């Protein structure tokens, strides 16, 4: 569990030094995406007040109690990590109050916050919001069409999560795109019961997070309560669904995540959304037959048995690296090299060495000669 750092007492007469933001692990000024790795309480303490339009938070549910659940037809542990382990009701509630207060401070006067959770945490979140003076707007029931069965057969199957939507305080004039939500609901007022499928296989192709939210859910939240160009904050970024959805919706995004593995997962998903690759291939026809003698092709059906490829001796093999710029979203340097280290050395010795690079694309080409029967 992430705890707030206690500030040591400052001697009287000495100025208070404001916390400094650490350098982000990913910063894309062009698309307004910034990702920080670390404790959200420490990082949010360095944010200026009133700078965020919308917060989506999926905090720890405190479910990791050595129990079991069903996933894909198999019995699996519910333990997700030390960050999800309960410290007791009082400590859990104080943690919820701490991060909610930090988010409330950075919210703009008319900003809103959405918090998702199961019954293990959401009641504490709602009570903490009331204690802090948030204005509760709605509680959304997210219905999961195909929930895992209850293995103990002593409870109803857990088929919903609750999402609380709240404004910064009672004076807030929150954003709500009523007509857009009505259109999405087929011309009727959208209800507070949402049936949304869990994340698809495509959304998990770079890796999985135990509490990953579907893009469709975040898309509805962001479109309902923010405008293009506004700032979205996710203090528990996880697999980066908020960041991916905000990017697609033309919102700015700031994400915070403690676990480096989940940061890497998020960056893979974000960069995938930023990459557009255009390949141009020129085909050169050449005659491989010896010129010294003629060849009778009258019985040739124009096909070759591709299973007869000589897989161990390619005619040609080439590995190339393409460096894509941060500000010029195009290939600014390309080089053939055996490894990324060699490619980077060559780049650093080139005329483009001063160009800031966002990512590198590696391609491998192998040409084999088919063996006729």
CATH number at residue 94: 3.40.50.150
Residues 147 and 266 in one domain: yes
Range from 67-81, 97-111, 200-214, 307-321 that averages highest in pLDDT: 97-111
Q: 166 and 254 share a domain?
A: yes
Parent domain of 315? 306-367
327 in the same domain as 248: no
Say if residue 240 is in the same domain as residue 320: no
Task: Say if 287 falls within a structural domain.
Answer: no
Of 14-23, 189-198, 281-290, minimum mean pLDDT range: 281-290
CA 105 to each of CA 2, 12, 21, 306, 343: distance values in angstroms, whole numbers, following the listed order: 18, 25, 16, 65, 46
Please tell me whether residue 35 adopts helix, strand or coil conformation.
strand
Residue 247 lies in a domain: yes
Q: Please check whether residues 205 and 104 belong to one and the same domain.
A: yes
Q: How far apart are CA 212 and CA 220, in angstroms?
A: 16
Of 274, 290, 324, the residue that ends a domain is 274
**Is position 89 within any domain?**
yes
The pLDDT, as a whole number, for residue 9 is: 34
- The segment with the largest mean pLDDT, out of 85-94, 161-170, 321-330, is 161-170
Q: What mean pLDDT do residues 227-234 have?
A: 97
Phi, psi angles (nearest 5°) of residue 155: -140, 165
Q: Please tell me whether residues 180 and 329 are part of one structural domain.
A: no
What pLDDT band is residue 15 in, cutting at 50, 70 and 90? low
Q: Specify if 6 maps to a domain.
A: no
Task: Please report the pLDDT score of residue 150 as a whole number.
Answer: 74
Structure tokens that stand for 70 in this block = 């069903």
Number of domains in the chain: 2
State yes or no: pLDDT of 176 exceeds 90.
Answer: yes
Residues 243 and 343 in one domain: no
Q: How far apart are CA 296 and CA 304, in angstroms?
A: 16
Q: Chain centroid to CA 258: how far?
A: 13
Residue 31: inside a domain, yes or no? yes
Domain boundary among 259, 274, 289: 274
**Interstrand relation of 68-71 and 74-77 (parallel, antiparallel or unpaired):** antiparallel
Spatial distance between the Cα atoms of 358 and 177, rounded to a whole number of angstroms: 35
**pLDDT score at 7:** 30
- Per the CB < 8 A criterion, the answer to whether 132 and 170 are in contact is no
- 252-274 b/e with 16+ CB inside 10 Å = b? bbbbbbbeeebbbbbbebbbeee
pLDDT averaged over every residue in the chain: 82
- Output the pLDDT for position 208: 77
Indicate whether this model's pTM tops 0.85: no
Residue 282 forms part of a structural domain? no
**201 falls within a domain:** yes
Least confident of 26-40, 49-63, 65-79: 65-79
My answer on whether 318 and 181 are in the same domain is no
């Amino acid at each position: 569990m992430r705890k707030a750092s206690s500030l040591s007492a400052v001697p009287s007469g000495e100025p208070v030094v404001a916390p400094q933001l650490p350098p982000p692990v990913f910063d894309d000024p062009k698309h307004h995406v910034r990702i920080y790795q670390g404790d959200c309480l420490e990082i949010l303490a360095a944010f200026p007040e009133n700078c965020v339009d919308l917060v989506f938070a999926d905090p720890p549910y405190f479910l990791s109690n050595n129990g079991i659940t069903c996933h894909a037809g198999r019995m699996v542990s519910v333990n997700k990590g030390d960050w999800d382990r309960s410290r007791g009701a009082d400590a859990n509630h104080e943690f919820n109050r701490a991060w909610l207060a930090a988010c409330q401070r950075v919210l703009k006067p008319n900003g809103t916050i959405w918090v998702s959770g199961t019954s293990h945490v959401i009641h504490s979140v709602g009570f903490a919001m009331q204690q802090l003076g948030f204005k509760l707007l709605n509680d959304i029931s997210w219905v999961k069409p195909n929930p895992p069965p209850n293995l103990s057969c002593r409870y109803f199957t857990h088929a919903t999560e609750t999402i609380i939507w709240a404004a910064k305080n009672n004076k807030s004039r929150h954003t709500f795109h009523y007509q857009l939500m009505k259109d999405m609901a087929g011309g009727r007022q959208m209800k507070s019961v949402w049936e949304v499928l869990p994340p698809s296989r495509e959304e998990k192709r770079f890796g999985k997070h135990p509490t990953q939210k579907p893009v469709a859910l975040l898309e509805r939240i962001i479109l309902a309560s923010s405008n293009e160009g506004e700032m979205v904050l996710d203090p528990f970024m996880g697999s980066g669904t908020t960041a991916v959805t905000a990017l697609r919706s033309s919102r700015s995004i700031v994400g915070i995540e403690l676990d480096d593995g989940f940061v890497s997962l998020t960056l893979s998903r974000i960069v995938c959304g930023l990459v557009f690759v255009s390949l141009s291939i020129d085909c050169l026809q050449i005659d491989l037959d010896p010129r010294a003698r003629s060849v009778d092709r009258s019985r040739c059906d124009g096909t070759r048995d591709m299973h007869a490829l000589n897989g161990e001796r390619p005619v040609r093999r080439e590995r190339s690296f393409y460096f894509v710029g941060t500000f010029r979203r195009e290939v600014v340097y390309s080089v053939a090299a055996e490894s990324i280290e060699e490619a980077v050395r060559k780049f650093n010795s080139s005329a483009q060495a001063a160009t800031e690079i966002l990512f590198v694309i590696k391609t491998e080409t192998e040409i084999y000669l088919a063996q006729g029967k």
